[in-house]
C-alpha cells in the first residue's frame, strides 16, 4: 500500500512539475515504468566515480593479480558493454567511461556497477556463476542498474518521501567537493556504508535488472538459460546456510526463476541470432 501511494505521488508530481530543470520524469524503455529522477546524469557519474574510488582505496579491498580471474571478467564486461551500446540504453552506454576491477575476496559473492560504468566483481561470485555465461547474467543485471538509473531513482524517491512536495526546491549535490560520499548516497547507489556490502534495490528495480540483464547477456553471445541455473544455485546456497550476498533479497529465488522462465523465449530469440560464446568454466577459487 505504501509503495502504491508513493507511485501515485510520483506520477502526480511528474505531471505538476512538467519540464522543470530540477525534476525529470522518464519512462523505462523496456518496461514502460515511470521514473522520478531529480539528479542529472553528470551528477550521477560523478557520484559513481567517487564511490568507485572509495571502494578501491579501502585497504581491505585487494585487486586480483591472477590473469585466470581477471581475463574472463574483462572479456565478459567488454561484450556486455558492446551489447549495451546496441540496446535501448545505447545513448547512456555511449556516455559512460567503462572500467572493471576484479576484487580478490573469495568469501564475498558480490558484483556491482555504478553510474558512469564503473564495475567490480568479487571472486567469491565465481562458484555461484560457475561459467562465463553465468557471470554474464550477473554482470548484465548490474549494468542495467546503472543504465536504468536505479540509484538516482532511489535517491529521488527518498527526497520526495522525506521532504514531501517541497523537494521541488532542492537539488542533490556533492557538498564541498568532499571525495567521501555520505552513507545515504552510497546506499542509494547500492553500496553499503561498510565497503563490500551491497544493498538490495527495490523489487521493481531487481526485476527490471533481471529482465534486461538477460537480454544484454544474450545479445553478448552468452546463453541466457545459465541465469536460471545461477539462481537455482543461489537458492541452494541460501537454503543450506551458505553466504550468497549477491541479490539475496527482493524478489525471492523462486519468484526470480519463474520470471526468468517467462522472459526466456525473448532472450533466446536474441541469443540465437548471435555467435554463441563457448561455455567456458570460471576458475576455481581458494587454496592459492
Residues identified as active-site = 142
Return d(Cα 129, Cα 74) in angstroms, integer. Answer: 15
Burial class (CB in 10 A: 0-12, 13-18, 19+), 125: buried
118-122/24-27 β-pairing: unpaired
Asked if residues 217 and 261 have their Cβ atoms less than 8 Å apart, the reply is: no
What SS3 class is residue 230? helix
What SS3 class is residue 194? coil
Burial class (CB in 10 A: 0-12, 13-18, 19+), 38: buried
| φ, ψ (nearest 5 deg) of residue 119 | -125, 155
Other beta carbons within 10 Å of 229: 18
Return d(Cα 158, Cα 274) in angstroms, integer. Answer: 41
Cβ partners under 8 Å of residue 70, min gap 6: 64, 102
Return d(Cα 24, Cα 35) in angstroms, integer. Answer: 8
| Residue 223, all three cell numbers | 546463453
Q: Can you say how many angstroms the Cα of residue 179 is from the centroid of all Cα atoms in its chain?
A: 22
Identify the helix (H) or strand (E) that includes residue 146.
Answer: helix 132-147
Amino acid at each position: 500500500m505504501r509503495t502504491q501511494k508513493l507511485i501515485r505521488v510520483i506520477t502526480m508530481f511528474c505531471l505538476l512539475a512538467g519540464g522543470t530543470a530540477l525534476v525529470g520524469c522518464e519512462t523505462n524503455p523496456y518496461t514502460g515504468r515511470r521514473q522520478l529522477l531529480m539528479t542529472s546524469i553528470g551528477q550521477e557519474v560523478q557520484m559513481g566515480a567517487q564511490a568507485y574510488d572509495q571502494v578501491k582505496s579501502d585497504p581491505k579491498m585487494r585487486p586480483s593479480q591472477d590473469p585466470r580471474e581477471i581475463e574472463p571478467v574483462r572479456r565478459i564486461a567488454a561484450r556486455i558493454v558492446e551489447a549495451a551500446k546496441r540496446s535501448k540504453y545505447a545513448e547512456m552506454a555511449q556516455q559512460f567511461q567503462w572500467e572493471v576491477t576484479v576484487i580478490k575476496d573469495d568469501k564475498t559473492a558480490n558484483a556491482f556497477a555504478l553510474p558512469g560504468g564503473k564495475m567490480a566483481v568479487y571472486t567469491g561470485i565465481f562458484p555461484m556463476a560457475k561459467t562465463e555465461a553465468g557471470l554474464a547474467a550477473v554482470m548484465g543485471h548490474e549494468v542495467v542498474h546503472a543504465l536504468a538509473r536505479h540509484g538516482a531513482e532511489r535517491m529521488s524517491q527518498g527526497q520526495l518521501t522525506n521532504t514531501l512536495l517541497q523537494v521541488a526546491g532542492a537539488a542533490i549535490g556533492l557538498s564541498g567537493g568532499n571525495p567521501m560520499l555520505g552513507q545515504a548516497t552510497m546506499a542509494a547507489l547500492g553500496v553499503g556504508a561498510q565497503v563490500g556490502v551491497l544493498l538490495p534495490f527495490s523489487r521493481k528495480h531487481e526485476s527490471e535488472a533481471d529482465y534486461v540483464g538477460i537480454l544484454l547477456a544474450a545479445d553478448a553471445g552468452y546463453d541466457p538459460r545459465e541465469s536460471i541455473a545461477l539462481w537455482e544455485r543461489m537458492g541452494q546456497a541460501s537454503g543450506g546456510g551458505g553466504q550468497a550476498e549477491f541479490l539475496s533479497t527482493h524478489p525471492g529465488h523462486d519468484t526470480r526463476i519463474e520470471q526468468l522462465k517467462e522472459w526466456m523465449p525473448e532472450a533466446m530469440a536474441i541469443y540465437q541470432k548471435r555467435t554463441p560464446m563457448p561455455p567456458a568454466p570460471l576458475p576455481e577459487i581458494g587454496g592459492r
